[in-house]
Amino acid sequence: MAEKLICNNKKAYHDYFIEEKFEAGMVLQGTEVKSLRAGKANLNDSFMQIRGGEAFLHNLNISPYDFGNRQNHLPDRNRKLLLHKREIVRLFIRIREQGYSAIPLRLYFKDGLVKVEVGLAKGKKLYDKREDLKKKDSQREISQVMKSRNRE
């Protein structure tokens, strides 16, 4: 079960509290897979939406394949996600009734297949973001002090 990371959505961890994670496959065209193997994807500002009992990923930017000529794909097209029906229903209920968002966290290859990790997330307020930054700064300072003590 070797995983090769294509891209990460670091901004999602800054802007949201991630409560639950799901793994989903994606329906892709041939040149999209080749472009992903080259690492040309961007998850920023992308989101998942459920329509008609199916899950779709919006605003995922996969750059056109350099050697794709006329068979190339559209970079910003909506892509269908492959989830079990019970997972889709569960996500739909949580999104509609409880005010959650479905945000893609990372895109990766798993056993030769492209997978996306979708997080069920709740938005952070500005003061929550500030607290996280303070915690991160204090952890960084502590680790630097520990490193300097180990060197002595």
Spatial separation of the C-alpha atoms in residues 20 and 31, rounded to whole Å: 31
pLDDT for the residue 1: 61
Which run of H or of E encompasses 120?
Answer: strand 113-123
Q: Are 9 and 105 in contact (CB under 8 A)?
A: yes
Return the CATH superfamily for domain 3-124: Small protein B (2.40.280.10)
Q: What is the pLDDT of residues 84-96, one digit of tens each?
A: 999 999 999 998 8
pLDDT of residue 71: 74
Question: Which phi-psi region, left, alpha or beta, contains residue 112 (left: φ > 0; alpha: ψ -120 to 50)?
Answer: left
Ranges of each domain in the chain: 3-124
In angstroms, the CA 75 to CA 6 distance is: 16
Q: What pLDDT does residue 77 have? A: 87
Return d(Cα 70, Cα 103) in angstroms, integer. 32
Instruction: Identify the segments of the chain with pLDDT beneath 50.
Output: none
pTM over 0.85: no
